[in-house]
Structure 1
Amino acid sequence: MSAPSLTVRALTGIGEVRPGDDPAKLIAAADPGLRDGDILLVTSKIVSKAEGRVVEAADREAAIDAETVRVVARRGPLRIVENRQGLVMAAAGVDASNTPAGTVLLLPEDPDASARAIRRGLREALGVRVGVVVTDTFGRPWRAGLTDVAIGAAGVRVLDDLRGGTDAYGNPLSATVVAVADELAAAGDLVKGKAAGLPVAVVRGLAHLVTDEPDEPREPDAPDAPDVPHGSGEPGALPGDGDDGDSDEGDGRDGCRVRAAVTGARALVRDSRDDMFRLGTSEAVREAVTQRRTVREFTDEPVDGGAVRRAVAAAVTAPAPHHTTPWRFVLLESESSRLRLLDAMRDAWVTDLRRDGKSEESIAKRVRRGDVLRNAPYLAVPCLVTDGAHVYGDERRDAAEREMFVVAAGAGVQNFLVALAGERLGSAWVSSTMFCRDVVREVLSLPGDWDPMGAVAIGHPRALPPPRAGRAPESFVEVR
């Protein structure tokens, strides 16, 4: 059997492309010898020019704004964004090179549709069955330098799903999905170059990648669900709410969903459910803090204790006075320990409410507020310890000393809740244990100097919390 081989060559003779030109006719005229099974790699710039995507724009930044649907990361003037085509790239793909001064070049409106049109045009002009990949230049996470990738495709297998097969040693392949269209795009860039005026390349020898997909797209996937997006000091209230194969994505092969309903290069774009790196570093930190939400209803899915311990590791990085470590987290992983604690707390709460003269109906209503803890599959009780606190001997300074430790405990709890969200776990911080600390210490056999600072219900959210409007910082700021 002969060894596999392929050739990649650039097409010459395509010249300057203008609005209204037909790329398929230009390609057919430049190379009438195209064969069945060839794959055309077409630079997006000539497609954009032919489709009239050259626009007046004295300010490139304004053009980037218009093409951006989501900012992924920002470092000074550089922006990595998701654009209208669903691609995550620098500057939304807005290009000020190879276009007249005072104008910018936008990406094709629908690169997959553009690829289908070129493929159809070549079939009509030359009678050939070819694949078409529309390419553009990208930077890549974790890697220096640029390369061409596929942003549109037609008649080409864009992903080669090897899962279910075996390697040369008989080991099962359980995670390997190869981004074939991107590999083709990068190969074409080697002969097209960035400034050689050669916008099209032809790959020959990979006819098995050319498909007979229809020239019209299938129905797209349903849009992504919204991202998982948080009470009073009374027991049962929710502080902070007012009332309201391998998993490494670095190789681009595993963790992605090969979706039968998606054709063209759109299948190469990870949806939000599979994107482990949806934001830049500073953006992810802000998103984690602002999108932490209180979850009141959970599924029956068990909670991974390792994930909770990772959240504890994040919690104890909070600032604390005098280089102390004032946090302790009691993890209630068994149902019996949770019920024993919650039953004792309920009894103590009922006793307090009867002493307050509340009616039995009112008591029952208030006690139901604790159901968020009772219905959770996992509980954690953060505690404050004041080892290392200074004793001054006067009320004012001793009170301030304790307040420092309480603030540090709150910072630790916030870290804990944010880290749980990062583990894709929902949580609700409930203040109940602060109102019956002696009961909690007795039931959980805690040292007498451990002060329970509420309880955290933890589990997998049953539903996504509704969107929450942002709060303007001006309402909470005084400048002096």
Structure 2
Amino acid sequence: MTHITVSGVAGMPEVAPGDDIALLLAEAAPALEDGDILVVTSKIVSKAEGRIRRSGAGEAWNGGGAPPHDHPPAPAGDATAAGRGAPPRDSRTAAIEEETQRVVARRGDTVIAQTRHGFVMAAAGVDASNTAPGTVLLLPEDPDASASRIRRGLRDRLGVRVGVIVSDTFGRPWRHGLTDVAIGASGVRPLDDLRGGADAYGNPLNATVVALADEIAAAGDLAKGKLSGVPVAVVRGLGGLVTGEDGPGGRALVRPADEDMFRYGSADVVFARRTIREFSGREVDPAAVRRAVAAAIAAPAPHHTTPWRFVLLETPRARTELLDAMRDAWIADLRSDGFSEESIARRIRRGDVLRNAPYLAVPCLVMDGSHTYGDERRNAAEREMFVVATGAGVQNFLVQLAVEGLGSAWVSSTMFCREVVREVLGLPGDWDPMGAVAVGHPAAPPKDRPPRDAADFYVTR
């Protein structure tokens, strides 16, 4: 049985910008042994690297003189919801914006954001605890590199082969409370991939990858604590996890976006919908499209009606027959309008996004439950209400496809040849095709959207 001990490193001084953490550790823990793993809280790494911001929006404190005291200390309170202390608001806001790559969720003043490192955490890792009043700490620029520097410094000064983990506090979805995880690592095997093995009963392990570095970070925090002033712990007894090389580091623990089933938070799920025009050859899971239909029919509609119908074209034959018939109808229309053959060919190529997609859906409007009035103005308004409701359903459909990891492009072409679409697909006469949706796995990441300022699109009265 492996015997593991976890002990805090006492006696370390307050860390300031420019300090050498390896030197401070060598003086505080000269009895380190080969195979030890040090868990170093990211706060002292951030301080040593000058990752400190004061109340002046985004200004750095470089360590000259005393830390600024522009604001009184933040009052004590429950920091669990945000996972952070409560720094001066202007400093906190500027620092979070500086560190945020994307906002995942927001509720009141609590922001869950992805950092440039790929971490998804409260306040983008900006922390106001264990730092001078009026200042906040940012995460280290490169936690893996920070861990490597500490490791090399200890080897040079003490001649020991150790592993180093830089840890920080994370909240967790679906669980109360905070725990420390590894945001950087050097000389430590971060993951233990057990896939392909079997458990004690012979059952195959198909998805078991153990986050060793996170487990060690959490164990180290038991010895460090949040209020004890002990920023480093030594874990002894896991020498088999210490490697000769720096290794893949903490970045190996960050799940790639295309493997993240929970990537989209409440703040960015709508923006996940993008128009995708090039698809890979991967097949589309029909069940995913059906889940998108379920989201579509959750849209609002007038008179408690259900005006949405979706025709799902899951076979190549069905898609080809529809697109060929639509192409012929479109060519006939363009010729009757006097377009040249060259211009017609160019316009027809715009429909390639539908032809190249591995899956098509045709949303249709039905007017079941609509009211008939005595004048055309009110009847026209009635139809407009149903068209708007169908559009809301299509938007839900597109957003859910994005949540499912699928790309899509809504193309309006069926609206120009509705009779042809109804005939080819064998639809009832009261089903009104409202475009077609190309569905598939994106062949490449979408391009950045052109910037839009919401203020350009509303007026107030």
TM-based fold match above 0.5: yes
Residue 337 in structure 1 maps to residue 318 in structure 2: yes
Alpha-carbon spacing, 1:170–1:387, altered in 2? closer, same or farther (3 Å): same
In structure 2, the partner of 1:452 is: 433
C-alpha deviation, 1:181, in angstroms: 1.1
What is the alpha-carbon distance in structure 2 between the residues aligned to residue 53 and residue 358 of structure 1? 63
In structure 1, the partner of 2:23 is: 25
The alignment partner of 1:433 has SS state of helix
Alpha-carbon spacing, 1:16–1:442, altered in 2? closer, same or farther (3 Å): closer
Residue 399 in structure 1 maps to residue 380 in structure 2: yes
In structure 1, the partner of 2:76 is: none
Instruction: Tell me the amino acid that sits aligned with residue 50 of structure 1.
Output: A
Residue 141 in structure 1 maps to residue 173 in structure 2: yes
* CA offset digits 1:402-429 (Å, max 9, x no partner): 2221222222222222222322323332
Instruction: Tell me the amino acid that sits aligned with residue 63 of structure 1.
Output: A
Alpha-carbon spacing, 1:421–1:146, altered in 2? closer, same or farther (3 Å): closer
What is the alpha-carbon distance in structure 2 between the residues aligned to residue 343 and residue 279 of structure 1? 37
Instruction: Tell me the amino acid that sits aligned with residue 48 of structure 1.
Output: S
What is the alpha-carbon distance in structure 1 between the residues aligned to residue 143 and residue 357 of structure 2? 47
What is the alpha-carbon distance in structure 2 between the residues aligned to residue 350 and residue 65 of structure 1? 51
C-alpha deviation, 1:85, in angstroms: 4.3
How do 1:193-232 and structure 2 match up within 5 A?
193-214=225-246
In structure 2, the partner of 1:320 is: 301
In structure 1, the partner of 2:45 is: 47
Residue pair 2:164, 2:186 contacting (<8 A) in 1 also: yes
In structure 1, the partner of 2:405 is: 424
Residue 410 in structure 1 maps to residue 391 in structure 2: yes
The alignment partner of 1:273 has SS state of helix
In structure 1, the partner of 2:269 is: 285
What is the alpha-carbon distance in structure 1 between the residues aligned to residue 258 and residue 309 of structure 2? 33
Alpha-carbon spacing, 1:475–1:77, altered in 2? closer, same or farther (3 Å): closer
Residue 269 in structure 1 maps to residue 254 in structure 2: yes
The alignment partner of 2:257 has SS state of coil
C-alpha deviation, 1:211, in angstroms: 0.9
TM-score normalised over the length of structure 1: 0.81
What is the alpha-carbon distance in structure 1 between the residues aligned to residue 448 and residue 19 of structure 2? 46
In structure 2, the partner of 1:4 is: 2
Alpha-carbon spacing, 1:443–1:174, altered in 2? closer, same or farther (3 Å): same
Residue pair 1:60, 1:96 contacting (<8 A) in 2 also: no
C-alpha deviation, 1:20, in angstroms: 4.0
Query: What is the percentage of aligned positions where both structures have the same residue?
Result: 72
What is the alpha-carbon distance in structure 1 between the residues aligned to residue 19 and residue 352 of structure 2? 67
Unaligned runs of 5+ in 1: 215-261
Alpha-carbon spacing, 1:23–1:407, altered in 2? closer, same or farther (3 Å): closer
What is the alpha-carbon distance in structure 1 between the residues aligned to residue 429 and residue 263 of structure 2? 45
What is the alpha-carbon distance in structure 1 between the residues aligned to residue 4 and residue 171 of structure 2? 26
Aligned match for 2:114, one of 82, 100, 119: 82
How do 1:79-228 and structure 2 match up within 5 A?
79-214=111-246
Residue pair 1:434, 1:452 contacting (<8 A) in 2 also: yes
C-alpha deviation, 1:386, in angstroms: 1.0
Instruction: Tell me the amino acid that sits aligned with residue 120 of structure 1.
Output: R
> More deviation in 156-165 or 455-464?
455-464
> More deviation in 181-190 or 28-37?
28-37
| Count of residue pairs the alignment pairs up | 427
C-alpha deviation, 1:54, in angstroms: 4.2
What is the alpha-carbon distance in structure 2 between the residues aligned to residue 321 and residue 37 of structure 1? 68
C-alpha deviation, 1:184, in angstroms: 0.9
* CA offset digits 1:167-209 (Å, max 9, x no partner): 1122222221111111111111112211112222221111101
C-alpha deviation, 1:364, in angstroms: 4.1
C-alpha deviation, 1:357, in angstroms: 4.4
Residue 311 in structure 1 maps to residue 292 in structure 2: yes
Instruction: Tell me the amino acid that sits aligned with residue 280 of structure 1.
Output: G
Residue pair 2:269, 2:403 contacting (<8 A) in 1 also: no
The alignment partner of 1:338 has SS state of helix
What is the alpha-carbon distance in structure 2 between the residues aligned to residue 82 and residue 380 of structure 1? 33
How do 1:432-451 and structure 2 match up within 5 A?
432-451=413-432
TM-score normalised over the length of structure 2: 0.84
Residue pair 2:269, 2:399 contacting (<8 A) in 1 also: no
What is the alpha-carbon distance in structure 2 between the residues aligned to residue 45 and residue 353 of structure 1? 67
Instruction: Tell me the amino acid that sits aligned with residue 278 of structure 1.
Output: R
Instruction: Tell me the amino acid that sits aligned with residue 263 of structure 1.
Output: P
The alignment partner of 2:259 has SS state of coil
What is the alpha-carbon distance in structure 2 between the residues aligned to residue 75 and residue 92 of structure 1? 14
What is the alpha-carbon distance in structure 2 between the residues aligned to residue 311 and residue 44 of structure 1? 42
What is the alpha-carbon distance in structure 1 between the residues aligned to residue 103 and residue 189 of structure 2? 30
What is the alpha-carbon distance in structure 1 between the residues aligned to residue 236 and residue 260 of structure 2? 33
What is the alpha-carbon distance in structure 2 between the residues aligned to residue 40 and residue 263 of structure 1? 17
Residue 36 in structure 1 maps to residue 67 in structure 2: no
What is the alpha-carbon distance in structure 2 between the residues aligned to residue 397 and residue 159 of structure 1? 65
C-alpha deviation, 1:84, in angstroms: 4.8
* CA offset digits 1:30-56 (Å, max 9, x no partner): 333222111122222333333444444
How do 1:382-397 and structure 2 match up within 5 A?
382-397=363-378
Alpha-carbon spacing, 1:174–1:447, altered in 2? closer, same or farther (3 Å): same
Instruction: Tell me the amino acid that sits aligned with residue 274 of structure 2.
Output: R
> More deviation in 345-354 or 157-166?
345-354
Alpha-carbon spacing, 1:44–1:424, altered in 2? closer, same or farther (3 Å): closer
What is the alpha-carbon distance in structure 2 between the residues aligned to residue 199 and residue 364 of structure 1? 69
What is the alpha-carbon distance in structure 1 between the residues aligned to residue 172 and residue 448 of structure 2? 32
Instruction: Tell me the amino acid that sits aligned with residue 251 of structure 2.
Output: R
In structure 2, the partner of 1:67 is: 99
C-alpha deviation, 1:362, in angstroms: 4.3
